[in-house]
């Protein structure tokens, strides 16, 4: 049977790949609540260094487990799917796919102006038809009915950033990647409790597949953030509550804490009632809205290690975004 050898959770905010000297330039173009703290450039440089160290720590632990493949939970933001048909869960079963690695802004003498973004490097990534089909059918046997893709729905765009940013940050370019998409952005989204159950079913399905495949699982996204929203802010208390459940191995409690959250009255940063680029206008279930719902990717990944304690590598509050930069792992769950 396939064996889950580790679970790794990481944020994928573009600030992780943006020179810290540009952070406050981006902040100035966003609508932040007045009480969001301001970090000077030196502090941003220190936080950027912590983020890179956290990536390195996750990468080290991931490859110490010698995985044959990585199964990654991520979300799609109209990169592969759109409102003609948007699945709650989807498994990519193609043999391979293409996607852009995160483009890093530069101030170097490479022919680009200061702050100009170089063209993203597109890479071809090996997938796994056999493991993908085994996971897909195993999930169906366990009460889930995920969609699937055998080819990229929008090949010109490639795989979404929720998968490609962690691929570039914590993976090598040799290990295959099997993307599993969870709809985190577009209401109505699966509740965290459902994602917890989904993660457990993923592990059961993998362990039912014949062979000795060593599988690492990655959860991509989060933590608290409402990118480009009006009056955005960072709820660090909520993030630390989520991380405390993760650290204790209480993933069910993590899901319950997420789903029981109620949006404060007047919080315009989480308003989803009007259809727009990142909103359907339909109502959602309980829990935060916006990018914060990417925590459900963490819940699904952690559900595959339910009961195992996680090591919190770091939590970096990125006020320029604002976003809670979390990094955690669980070796050999």
pLDDT digits (tens, 9 = 90+) for 100-118: 998 654 444 345 555 555 6
What b/e string do you get for 185-221 counting C-beta neighbours within 10 Å, with b at 16 or more? bbbebbbbbbbbbbbbbbbebbeebeeebebbbbbbb
Give the per-residue pLDDT at 116: 58
Under-70 pLDDT residues of the chain: 103-118
Alpha-carbon separation of residue 201 from 140, 210, 286, 304 (angstroms): 9, 16, 22, 8
Nearest residue to 121 (alpha-carbon basis) of 100, 104, 106: 100
pLDDT given at position 115: 53
pLDDT of amino acid 102: 83
pLDDT value for 108? 43
Residue 141 neighbours by CB distance under 10 Å = 12
The string over 294-331, giving b where at least 16 C-beta atoms fall within 10 Å of a residue's C-beta and e elsewhere, is bbbbbbbbbbbbbeeebebbbbbbbbbbbbbbbbbbbb
**Domains detected in the chain:** 3-105+125-331 (3.40.830.10)
Kindly tell me the sign of the dihedral angle through the C-alpha atoms of 292, 206, 170, 110: negative
> Cα separation of 194 and 146, whole Å?
13
């Amino acid at each position: 049977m396939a064996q889950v050898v580790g679970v790794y959770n990481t944020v994928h905010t573009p600030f992780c790949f943006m020179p810290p000297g540009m952070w406050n330039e981006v902040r100035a173009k966003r609508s932040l609540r007045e009480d969001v703290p301001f970090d000077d450039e030196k502090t941003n440089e220190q936080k950027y260094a912590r983020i890179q160290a956290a990536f390195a720590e996750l990468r080290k632990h991931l490859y110490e487990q010698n995985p044959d493949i990585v199964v990654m939970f991520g979300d799609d933001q109209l990169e592969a799917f759109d409102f003609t048909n948007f699945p709650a869960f989807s498994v990519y079963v193609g043999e391979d796919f293409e996607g852009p690695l995160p483009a890093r802004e530069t101030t170097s003498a490479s022919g680009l102006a200061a702050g100009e973004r170089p063209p993203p490097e597109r890479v071809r990534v090996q997938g796994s038809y056999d493991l993908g089909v085994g996971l897909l059918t195993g999930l169906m046997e366990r009460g889930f009915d995920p969609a699937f893709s055998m080819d990229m729905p929008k090949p010109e765009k490639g795989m979404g950033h929720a998968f490609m940013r962690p691929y570039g940050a914590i993976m090598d370019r040799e290990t295959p990647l099997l993307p599993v998409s969870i709809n985190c952005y577009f209401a109505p989204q699966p509740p965290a409790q459902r994602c917890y159950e989904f993660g457990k079913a993923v592990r059961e399905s993998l362990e039912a597949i014949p062979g000795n495949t060593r599988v690492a699982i990655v959860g991509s996204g989060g933590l608290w953030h409402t990118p480009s929203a009006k009056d955005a802010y960072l709820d660090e208390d909520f993030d630390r509550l989520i991380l405390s459940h993760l650290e204790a191995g209480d993933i069910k409690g993590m899901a319950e804490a997420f789903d029981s959250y109620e949006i404060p009255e007047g919080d315009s940063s989480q308003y989803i009632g009007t259809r727009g680029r990142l909103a359907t206008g339909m109502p959602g279930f309980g829990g935060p809205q916006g990018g914060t719902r990417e925590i459900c990717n963490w819940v699904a990944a952690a559900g595959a290690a339910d009961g195992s304690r996680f090591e919190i590598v770091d939590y970096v509050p990125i006020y320029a975004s604002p976003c809670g930069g979390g990094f955690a792992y669980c070796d050999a769950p």
